[in-house]
Structure 1
């Protein structure tokens, strides 16, 4: 399946996926919120990396340099754990995403567990590292404002508060056969 055919499938993956035409409130200001959440998370990750680096530097003097060597492993592990704990949680959002009222939703029917969250973050950072303008601009041309890594991983980013109301409406219409 090509990326183009993935983009053109609107509701074929899961019919209950929200559609921007029928639920525009789920996608209102989504790109601005995603960029803001990204910068909040970068600041948090920067503070985490700085704290671990300072701790490792100080401990390195007491451990004859062993703590300095461990930083090579400790820093990536801390970043991976951040994404696994936040995106893999029931809230399905990093701290920045929670602050901007957005949530990560799987589109292919699989659960969004810690491993899926780690893989999503890894694909995100690879696509951002390779060519961030294309990754961000890509979202302007997909109906649900999905970026490359969202399409590859089968995820969808939506606003959290309207999403809760949307799913309640969907359950009610399914329940009553509307």
Structure 2
């Protein structure tokens, strides 16, 4: 309870914090998934050697390796001190929880899983939700209690 309770963050009330967030999120998404695709290559090579060392037992991870790399990438970046993925940082964005606590590794993983679920079911509609909400929140943001703000508007 100690340190995390003392380090609270809140979304700024100004509309500047949310202007241009949706377009920046799309660009951050493209950036992040290019980086994940690049990181997938050395992970596949590493898994090949681990598979040889385990006499083929690790080869069953190949079909889900991209998801494992993406989960680690977003879990450590969103759950880290920056509270943003590298793509989000490049676009000047940051994710905050509406209850004021920091986003942890598990919350970042749940956010990613909900994104994949809703994206596979409602592909264009998840972005349409952001057009009609006051803080440009998407459906999976509502479910975990998060908001994405522009970094420069935070100060």
Q: Could you say which TM-score interval applies, normalised by the shorter chain?
A: 0.7 to 0.9
Alpha-carbon distance between aligned partners in 1 of 2:67 and 2:33, rounded to the nearest angstrom: 14
**Where does structure 1 lack aligned partners over 5 or more consecutive residues?**
1-15, 166-178
Q: Secondary structure in 2 aligned to 1:132?
A: coil
Q: Secondary structure in 2 aligned to 1:104?
A: strand
Could you say which residue in structure 2 is the equivalent of 1:47? 38
TM-score, scaled to structure 2:
0.82
Could you say which residue in structure 1 is the equivalent of 2:93? 102
After superposition, the Cα gap between the structure-2 partners of 1:59 and 1:146, relative to the gap in structure 1 and judged at 3 Å, is same
Could you say which residue in structure 1 is the equivalent of 2:12? 18
Mapped pair 1:131 → 2:122: yes
TM-score, scaled to structure 1:
0.73
Larger Rg: 1 or 2?
A: 1
Could you say which residue in structure 1 is the equivalent of 2:20? 29
Which residues of 2 match residues 147-166 of structure 1 at below 5 A? 147-163=138-154, 165=155
State whether residues 12 and 153 of structure 2, in contact with CA within 8 Å, keep that contact through their aligned partners in structure 1: no
Number of residue pairs aligned between Structure 1 and Structure 2: 146
**CA root-mean-square deviation:** 2.1
Q: Deviations over 1:100-133 (max 9, x none)?
A: 0000000023431111111111111211121121
**Where does structure 2 lack aligned partners over 5 or more consecutive residues?**
1-9
Q: Deviations over 1:45-102 (max 9, x none)?
A: 1112232223334654565433422435654333222111100011100010010000
